[in-house]
Amino acid sequence: MIENELMYKRLRGFIDRGIISKTDKTLVVCGWEFDQQALDSLGFTDFVITSMAPSGTPKIKNYRTEDVERLSFADNSFDNVIVHAGLHHCYSPHKAVCEMYRVAKKNVIIFEAQDSFTLRLFSRLGLALDYEVDAVIQSNNTSGGVNNLPIPNYIYRWTKREIEKLVRSFDPVGEPEIAVVSEFYCNPCHMEGFLKEHIISKMLGKTAMLGLIKISTALLNLFLRSQGNCFTVLVRKDSQRLHRWMKKTDKGYEFTG
């Protein structure tokens, strides 16, 4: 059920806290049918979903083809700009975040993978992917990789410090307000593909392996939540505090010395 998905839960929380509104003008980049289902279920009334796929390809309402690294929208065009598990499909994830920030008026919301010691260890053990080979295979080698091409993309993982440095560099006039929630989250239907050939799966069987994943996820969240694989970032652009040496004018920003 969509209500059990991490994106739904986090957006629901932002709505309940008054950070975002169902009537906000919202843009989803690197989006697909799942994103529409989540926004519809939450009651969003004004949203546009974009990705690299040609218009008319996906069965998504309010869809248009856009390259997140080169968005055609003007600055501050949307109240909220959201991405869910899409930045790691970009040639330049950093450029994509900058474009999201540019066209956002209030909030940038990012759901991506976190870079942590635990995830690097999992990668060495074959429990976390470095390249999304399965996504290309599932599309019959026609798409699903970097920039939706049939080339498996590297899974770029983030840290809070990296997001902070990027935002500060792109918009240096003030102090950014950035909130991060890390946690371990594994949807079994997303795990079956690449774990079916894993040695543990072959030893335990599919049902036992998925049960082990569920138990392990609960234990990891109990003791190592900050090391989680899932990384929700909220950048509150409208809450930015200007530096004491800057002031806002009718023409933009001015250095006061």
Where are the domains positioned within the chain?
A: 2-114+154-183+228-255
pTM: 0.91
Q: Which residue has 């066209």 as its token pair?
A: 103
Distance, in Å, from the CA atom of 153 to the CA atom of 234, rounded to the nearest integer, reads 25
C-alpha–C-alpha distance, residues 89 and 222, integer Å: 30
Q: What pLDDT, on the 0 to 100 scale, is given for residue 134?
A: 82
User: Nearest-CA neighbor of 97 among 247, 1, 254, 233?
Assistant: 233
248: tokens are 């806002």
Q: How many CA atoms lie within 13 A of 89 on its CB side?
A: 22
Residue 108 three-state SS: strand
Helix, strand, coil share of the chain (percent; to 5):
40, 25, 35
207-to-125, 129, 210, 239 alpha-carbon distances in Å: 20, 21, 5, 47
Domain 2-114+154-183+228-255 has CATH 3.20.20.105: no
Report which of 107, 134, 109, 103 is spatially closest to residue 10, judged by C-alpha positions.
109
**Interatomic CA distance for residues 125 and 178, integer angstroms:** 32
Quick check: helix, strand or coil at residue 52?
coil
Of 72, 9, 7, 11, give the one whose Cα is nearest residue 33. 7
Torsional sign, CA 73, 75, 165, 226: negative
Fill in the DSSP letter of residue 12.
H
- Give the per-residue pLDDT at 188: 59
d(CA 160, CA 26): 23
pLDDT for residue 61 = 87
The structure tokens listed for 94 are 């950093």
Per-residue pLDDT of the chain (257 residues; tens, 9 = 90+): 898 899 999 999 999 999 999 999 999 999 999 999 999 999 999 999 999 988 766 688 899 999 999 999 999 999 999 999 999 999 999 999 999 999 999 999 999 999 999 999 989 988 888 999 888 888 899 988 999 899 999 999 999 999 999 999 999 999 999 999 999 997 655 555 556 666 666 666 667 777 777 888 999 999 999 999 999 999 999 999 999 999 999 888 999 98
Helix 6-16 / helix 33-42 crossing angle, nearest 10 deg: 30
